Amino acid sequence: MARIICTAVIALFFVPLLAQTAAQQAAHVDLSGSWGYAVGNSFSPKGTAQDAGTPADGVPYQPWALALMKTRKTMSGPNATFNTRDSGTLETTNVTDPLEQCTPNGIPRILTWPAKFKFLQTPDVVYILYEYGPYWRPVWLNRQHPPADELDSSFFGHAIGRYEGNDTFIVDSLGYNDKTWLDDVGRPHTDKLHLIERYRRVDQGHLEVTLTIDDPGAYTASFTFGPRQVLARTTDFGAALWTCSIDQNKEFYRDISAPTLTPSAK
Amino acid sequence: MRTRGLLFATVAAVVIAGSIAGAHHGAAGYDNKNITILKGTVTEWIWRNPHSEVRFDVTDAKGDVRHWSVEAPPPTMLTERGWTKASLKPGETLTFHINAAMNGSPVGILRKVVLANGQDLWAYPPADLLLELTTNGKAQ
């Protein structure tokens, strides 16, 4: 008898709870799919990569950040230069992009890369996987950022997430180092970077990405890039991965870039 | 049309829709407004990051052979466009549509390959075809 009563109490208590949890999970956005490619290579609120560093790009630079960006030798934007290497060592001689040395592109720059990304949603954490690297990062649900003195400074930061409505997932991240570029045109950021990513599933085939960049170390105000749409792809995520290799970069330069640059080949 | 003394070379003035995304290392050195068509025999197909590479030999009317090295997208992109590591095999004679280097070197960037059965295998398709290939057009 006691067992029956006990079972009934458990059922009365837990079944609604489980139903509520299931309902909550069903209500949030389903981000499944294979998403890509890049959202763009310049995270300016307006203007193109070629406008980077001009008033047309709408980015509120601090003077030092603008000056630093203009010294960087990029492969995109107004400072873009052809990547050349020493003919003997094959070391890069002009481009200062850290990606040429296979330094992680980190967040948010990884979103500029023409490779796919994917969300793995679990009750406690959403993992975002990237074909480039291949890198991945956890976005913790139902959790706060650690206290400042416990926060590491890393390439991929510390991210917490929440669902909004039935179509949006919001990622709030900080705890970045300053070793990466914000985007392909060489915008800097500091370890004060606080990034908000909004992923809104418009429909089965479209994901809308919006970035709000707040870095009081490098910019005088926060600014927003997007929304920009990426598409659901038909190829399996991870069917091929994009691993950066300094040796392979050198091979490519030796085989293709160097003869393209040779002025007297004609 | 102009010839380069190759077995089969055609340069057609073609303005290609869309950009050559991902060709960040070499795009500035290519003649992106014209397509050079070469019939050649594959010697090596390198499935590699940051860009794949096909090497092929083109023999001219005099029997002289020129060795070409042409870049293609990385495996992540090619996989989406229907390619595999086995798409090209040494010994096959195929037709390559490329943007050649402006300095005359035997290098370039691959737009598409026409296979022996006449099928187009696109490396950098026009924008509308790219959408069709990578999203089945469902995203439109």
pLDDT higher than 60, residue B60: yes
* Tally of CB atoms within 10 A around A19: 10
pLDDT higher than 50, residue B8: no
What are the structural domain ranges in chain B? 9-135
Q: Which of B48, B57, B52, B67 is nearest to B91 (CA)?
A: B57
Are B76 and A82 an interchain contact pair (Cβ–Cβ within 8 Å)? Answer: no
Rounded Cα gap, residues A146 and B33, in angstroms:
54
Assess A115–B contact: CB distance below 8 Å, yes or no.
Answer: yes
C-alpha distances (whole Å) from B4 to each of A61, A123, A152, A257, B13 are 51, 63, 59, 21, 15
C-alpha distances (whole Å) from B126 to each of B17, B18, B133 are 5, 6, 10
Task: Flag whether the pTM goes above 0.90.
Answer: no
Query: A63: part of which helix (H) or strand (E)?
Result: helix A63-71
Is residue B113 within 8 A of residue B56, CB to CB? The reply is no
**What is the Cβ-side half-sphere exposure of residue A59, based on CA atoms within 13 angstroms?**
32
Assess B86–A contact: CB distance below 8 Å, yes or no.
Answer: no
Rounded Cα gap, residues A45 and A51, in angstroms:
11
Rounded Cα gap, residues A186 and A79, in angstroms:
9
Q: What percent of chain B has pLDDT over 70?
A: 76
Assess B2–A contact: CB distance below 8 Å, yes or no.
Answer: no
Tell me the average pLDDT across A200-218.
96
Distance from B84 to chain A by nearest Cα, in Å?
A: 10
| Chain B residues closer than 8 Å to A131 by CB | 76
CA-nearest residue of chain B to A131?
B76
Phi, psi of A65 (to 5 degrees): -70, -40
pLDDT of B13: 34
By Cβ distance, the residue of B24, B74, B80 closest to A235 is B80
SS (H, E, C) A212-229: EEECCCCECCCEEEEEEE
pLDDT of B130: 87
Are A242 and B30 an interchain contact pair (Cβ–Cβ within 8 Å)? Answer: no
Tell me the average pLDDT across A110-122.
95
Tell me the average pLDDT across A24-52.
87
Are B28 and A76 an interchain contact pair (Cβ–Cβ within 8 Å)? Answer: no
Tell me the average pLDDT across A14-18.
51
Geometric angle at alpha carbon A38, from A32 and A39, rounded to 5°: 90
Interface test with B, best of A131, A260, A261 (most B CBs within 10 A): A260
CA-nearest residue of chain A to B22?
A114
| Chain A residues closer than 8 Å to B21 by CB | 37, 114
Tell me the average pLDDT across B66-78.
95
For residues A219 and B26, the model is more confident at: A219
Q: Strands (DSSP E) along chain A, which ranges?
A: 35-36, 117-121, 125-130, 135-141, 158-164, 168-174, 194-203, 206-214, 223-232
| Mean pLDDT lowest among A31-40, A158-167, A256-265, B89-98 | A256-265
Q: What percent of chain A has pLDDT over 90?
A: 67
pLDDT of A86: 81
For residues A80 and A55, the model is more confident at: A55
pLDDT higher than 70, residue A205: yes
CA-nearest residue of chain B to A249?
B50
Are B51 and A131 an interchain contact pair (Cβ–Cβ within 8 Å)? Answer: no
* Tally of CB atoms within 10 A around A146: 12
Rounded Cα gap, residues B130 and B20, in angstroms:
12
Query: B18: part of which helix (H) or strand (E)?
Result: none
Fold annotation for B9-135:
OB fold (Dihydrolipoamide Acetyltransferase, E2P) (2.40.50)
Instruction: Pick the most confident of A14-18, A227-231, B17-21.
Output: A227-231
Q: Can you tell me which residue has the tokens 């003919």?
A: A87
pLDDT of B139: 39
pLDDT higher than 90, residue A16: no
Rounded Cα gap, residues B107 and B51, in angstroms:
13
C-alpha distances (whole Å) from A74 to each of A79, A187, B108 are 6, 10, 22
Q: Which of A249, A201, A188 is nearest to A43 (CA)?
A: A188
Tell me the average pLDDT across A218-238.
94
Is residue A226 within 8 A of residue A39, CB to CB? The reply is yes
SS (H, E, C) B26-66: CHHHECCCEEEEEEEEEEEEECCCCCEEEEEEEECCCCCEE
C-alpha distances (whole Å) from B69 to each of A116, A260, B23, B105 are 27, 10, 15, 9
By Cβ distance, the residue of B25, B74, B139 closest to A83 is B25
Assign B16 to helix, strand or coil: coil
Assess B67–A contact: CB distance below 8 Å, yes or no.
Answer: no
- Structure-block tokens of residue A185: 């045109």
